Amino acid sequence: MGGTTTRTERGLPGAASSHDGPRSCTNDFRAQRFTPQFLLMRLRHATTAQDDLSETLASSFVRSTSSEPAGTLASGKEVDEFVKEFRELRKTYHKRVMWGDQWTVGRVAWRDDHDGDVTR
């Protein structure tokens, strides 16, 4: 082997044989990015990241309003901007949760050609 590490040598699933060469290995990896299992994993990670983002925004807003002198409240504009941004973040989070729930109960079916279409 001339220094090229194949998927088999790295112990990756769907490994190419050492005779397939590096191009086949790259194609296998690219195809793996569109498998249902990988896409579900990405959805779950994105859902968690979205939740973290909205919680960070809320914590930041609370800290900024609590650090102001006593009796001083955030202006109506600041509150409105926070609520608008927070609602958008949470809407995206809850959509992702619903998509994950639909997947869990078997209401998502992937076509064999992996062209990205989802059928119900």
Q: How does pLDDT run across 50-97, given as a tens digit for each residue?
A: 999 999 999 999 998 887 765 566 788 999 999 999 999 999 999 999
Residue at 77 is within a domain: yes
CATH number of the domain bearing residue 86 = 1.10.287.660
Counts for the chain of helices (H) and strands (E), in that order: 4, 2
Please work out, in degrees rounded to the nearest 5, the angle formed at the alpha carbon of residue 32 by the alpha carbons of 20 and 11.
60
- Whether the CB-CB separation of 104 and 96 falls below 8 Å is answered with no
Residue at 18 is within a domain: no
Residue at 11 is within a domain: no
> pLDDT tens digits, residue range 96-108?
999 999 998 989 8
Q: What is the pLDDT of residue 65?
A: 83
Residue at 46 is within a domain: yes
Which pTM does this prediction carry? Answer: 0.63
H or E element that contains 119 = strand 118-119
Task: Please state, in angstroms and rounded to a whole number, the distance separating the CA atoms of residues 95 and 103.
Answer: 12
> pLDDT tens digits, residue range 9-55?
444 444 444 455 556 666 777 778 888 889 999 999 999 999 999 99
Residue at 108 is within a domain: yes
Q: What is the tally of structural domains in the chain?
A: 1
Partnered with residue 110 across adjacent β-strands are 118
